Each structure stands twice: as structure tokens, then as C-alpha cells.
Structure 1
Amino acid sequence: MTRPITAGVDGTEESLAALAWAAREAVRRGLPLRVVHAWRAHEALADRDTQRGWVADGVAEAVRTVTGAHPELTVATDVLEGDVVESLVEAAATAETLVLGSRGHGAVVGFLLGSVGRQVIAEAVRPVVLVRAGDRPAAEAAGRDVVVGQHGGPEDSEAALGFAFEAAAARGAAVRAVRAWNLPPVFAYSPASLRLLDDTGGLEPYERRALAEALKPWRERFPEVPVAEQLELGSAGQVLLSAAGRAQLMVVGRRARRTAVGARIGSVAHGVLHHADCPVAVVPHG
């Protein structure tokens, strides 16, 4: 089954920016575009059929904009009535990527209603891209990198790295793989860990080898994609944001499994979503 690039729209400036980004991504990857509007009827406005007509007209107008810019694009539309979060999470499940709008800087106020975007990102089983209002394709044409965060062992960042390399290959861009490291607290040292550090020549060479090991299979799979490795001492969120200014797309991972308090985005993804100027892809793993 060919998965589409799916864009959620609601007529706002940020959702139209997300739709434009999704259309360009679909063209780059040779995939169809699906445009969805998730909504609930409001009794105070008009009868349900009238409201549904308003929504359908808005979706049709948005689609005319992208088909005018990309006449070769195959586009399907869906008006989904019901719980907004559930509808968008279901739409994401059959998508290659779900693309939503985000309102400016500060807290991620989400899609449509407050925390909806945050909930969708936390619960979606497929990658979700957040695009800010005012996003322009100029950044994609300016030679900027696809920046991806790498942590832990190769399996911990496999999904995010795969997404980043595929995105870079589709754009003819480079990947900048960023790994942050910190000096461990004194109590974390043990005879075994000290031997490991001795064998690898110290903390920084150990971290550099870990980054290289994680990148190795992706370099082999995408030999045409240039790769820059960035290793810095500091918190993962701060180090990633230090690379955001040269990024056309930021890719971060989040753990897909639920905790006792429900699905969560994770502190690194949360920080990047708050402060990065470029579109941010959140890729679930494990």
C-alpha cells in the first residue's frame, strides 16, 4: 500500500503553511497527498449540514491552491467529523507522514484547539511534522541541512535517522547528525565503565564512535547524501537547537510506548518544538 503525505487543515494560516509543505513533500517523494479536516459541529453556529458544507468548501479552496501550484499531484480529501485528536491519530496511522500547523513561537498550542497538536504527536504511530505559520520554501532551496538528533546506540535512533536520510535524499540535501553528551556524575563510574572508557580513550572518543556506528548503515544505504557529524558537550535539546539555524528540517525521536501517565512527547522533542524556527519532524520509535 502506498502511504500518502497527509495534511491536517482548518483554514488557519498555520494549517495552510502545513498544507503547502505537505504538497511539496508529496511531489518530492512521488507520493499522493491526502488533505483532512477534523471537526466537531457547534450548536450555536448553524445546523450540522450547513457547517459540514462550510468545512467542505474550505477544504476545496485549500486544495485548489496546492493543485494550482502542483498540477501533477494526486490529491484526496476527507472531512472527518468526531473527536479531533482521535480523527487525526487515525489519519496518521495510514500516512507516510502527518503534517500539522503550529502557531508561532512559545508553547506548542497545537492544532485547532490548544493541546490537540501535542496529543496527536504523542499518540501517533507514524511521523508527525509541525510547520509554523509563515514557513516558506526558500529555506529548502538555500542548501540547508536536514538536522537529526542521535542518542544511545544505533537502535535507539534508527527511526529518526532513517526519516532524516530519506528526507535529505529527496531534497538533495545533507544530513547533520547531532549527538550531545554530558560528563557523568561521580557515582556513575564503576570499574566496568572505567575500563570501557580506558579502552576507547576517554568520554569524547567513545561518544564520537557511538555516533559513527549509528550512522554507518545509513551512510551505506544513502551514499549520495553528504553527512556532517556534530558532537557537543551539553543537553540534547540545547545542542540540537544550536544547529537549528542551518536546518530546513529538524528530526527528533520520541519513545512510542506509553507510560503510567499516558503518551508523552519527551523533553527533547518538547523543547525543539517550542523553539526551532524550521519544520520539526517527531518520529516515534521503540
Structure 2
Amino acid sequence: MKSVLVGLSPDTDSLATITWAAEYAGRLAAPLRVVLADGGSLTALYNAVATVRGRHPHLSLSAMTAEDGLADALLERTADAHVTVVDRHVATAGIAAAVAAEATCPVAAVSPGVCWAAQNRPVLVGADGTEHSEQALRWAFAEADRLGTGVRVVYSQPRGAGTERRNSVFDLLSLFAGRYPSMEVQLHTLTCAPAKALAWHAQFASMVVIGHREHGLGGRIYRKLLRDATCPVVLAGPDTALDAAPATSTLDIARS
């Protein structure tokens, strides 16, 4: 299993970020790798690592320093990462999007105070029928399978829009649900703004996953979710893709 990679910088809440990532790594049975970018606090790093070691004594954990800025330091190490974790304040500065655009793993942005719920919450994912959301769907289904939970899909359809994108979403969900027949899959179709819908559903999720877009609507959705979502926001980049075998399945479709 590849590692959960955590990036720390002077702007990072080190303890909150590492604590969430450590629980994540434990649930995946993955090693935790922490990189401190140039200018970060060694004292904060040592204290956070010591705290995590005390709470997760069996977790494979290593920490290192880098002379580069955070984005470059992470990109040098993402080839061996399953997911990269950063503080949400860092993500608002564009670092998460920059890393996700080039990395082969998604980037999760975590707010201080966010923790894993005792019960398994579903992975929430936004779908709009484009190739960007297909990347997000692929990763969300695979990750929910690893975590032993379900998937909640939100498709926000503009009023008066045609059926092509909606049908594309339905086809993809049938494809992915067929690969994971025992997984609970919910589809919610709405006519409100995508960011508003995802932010509301985020209260019931372990994380919310969206596809990466360098410009346009996807970027605005990401920024709004960073501000409003109550769970970590995961950005699946253009190289974050998993194969799915063709199949059919019955979906729990909810319109709200």
C-alpha cells in the first residue's frame, strides 16, 4: 500500500493535519509520511509526530524536511503516495490545486478540528457528466471500498439542461456500482448550485471528492467547498484514474 503523504509549511496547523492523516492511514493500513517544507517549524513537527506516535503506536510513521516550498516538496514525493494531505488554509492559497494538477494521487484539504467519525460515513462525490467528474467517481468508489463504506453521489443539473450529461452520470454509476456490488450507492439529483449541494451533503460524509479543473466552474466549486464543507475536500487531478470493469447494478436514486 502506498503512503499517506502529509505536507507541512509555516501556515499549517501541524497537529490537526497530522492527526487526521494518521487516522486515515490507520484505516487504510498504509504508512504515514510527513514532509516539512522550507520555513516550517521543526518544533511543531516534532510535537505533532510525538503525539501521533503516542496515539497510533503501530503506525508506520516517518518525517523528513525539505529545502523546497511546499508544492515542490510534495510533487517530488507523490509518486509513492496514495493521497496527499494538506491543511485547508494552505489549500486556499492554491497549493493543493497545483499539486493535484500534476500528481498521480489526489490531494485532501483538512480543516482544524475535523476528525473521523466513529461510524463509517460514505465518501461524497460530485458528478456532472464530464471527464473531470469521471476521475473523481473512479477514485471515490475505489476509496470507499478500501474504507469499507458507501458512496453518495451528488449530481446538480442546471434548470432546462438536456439529458446527455445526466445519462452519462447514470451510466458511469452503473459501471462502478457493478464493480463493487456489495457497496451502498446513493445518487442525489438536484437543481441547485453544485457547491451548495455538496456542502450540505458534506455533513454526512467522511470526505467530499471533486474533479480538478484549472479554470472555470470547477475551480469556483472547489474554493467554495474549502470555505463551507464540514469534511475534508479531496481534489482528484487529471492523472488520478482507476480502471473499472463494465457491469450493471441497481442504484438507490434519491431526488431531493
User: Which residue of the other structure, out of 210, 220, 233, is the alignment partner of 2:178?
Assistant: 220
* Deviation string, structure 1 residues 113-168 (Cα, Å, up to 9, x no partner): x726355455442211011101122xx32443211001125x44232112212332
In the TM superposition, what is the alpha-carbon distance from 1:183 to its structure 2 partner?
A: 2.9
In the TM superposition, what is the alpha-carbon distance from 1:12 to its structure 2 partner?
A: 7.1
| RMSD of aligned Cα (Å) | 2.9
Aligned mates of 1:276, 1:242 — CA distance in 2: 7
Quick one: which amino acid aligns to residue 36 of structure 1? V
* Deviation string, structure 1 residues 225-265 (Cα, Å, up to 9, x no partner): 2000101112222222231222221111113xx67xxx997
* Deviation string, structure 1 residues 84-119 (Cα, Å, up to 9, x no partner): 3321332334311110112xxxxxx426xx726355
Q: Which residue of 2 aligns with 1:115?
A: 93
Shift in CA distance, 265/96, structure 1 to aligned 2, threshold 3 Å: farther
TM-score (norm 2): 0.80
Q: State the secondary structure of the residue aligned to 1:281.
A: strand
Aligned mates of 1:164, 1:212 — CA distance in 2: 15
Q: State the secondary structure of the residue aligned to 1:134.
A: coil
Q: Which residue of 2 aligns with 1:268?
A: 221
Residue 72, structure 1, aligned to residue 49, structure 2: no
Count, aligned residues: 238
Q: Which residue of 2 aligns with 1:35?
A: 34
Q: Which residue of 1 aligns with 2:80?
A: 94
Contact 1:5 1:26 (8 Å CA) reproduced: yes
Q: State the secondary structure of the residue aligned to 2:128.
A: coil
Quick one: which amino acid aligns to residue 176 of structure 1? R
Structure with the larger helix share = 1
TM-score (norm 1): 0.72
Aligned mates of 1:97, 1:217 — CA distance in 2: 24
Q: State the secondary structure of the residue aligned to 1:278.
A: coil
Q: State the secondary structure of the residue aligned to 2:198.
A: helix
Q: Which residue of 2 aligns with 1:281?
A: 234
Shift in CA distance, 265/128, structure 1 to aligned 2, threshold 3 Å: farther
Aligned mates of 1:253, 1:17 — CA distance in 2: 25
* Deviation string, structure 1 residues 188-232 (Cα, Å, up to 9, x no partner): xxxxxxxxx6xxxxx4xx665332211122212222220001011
In the TM superposition, what is the alpha-carbon distance from 1:40 to its structure 2 partner?
A: 3.4
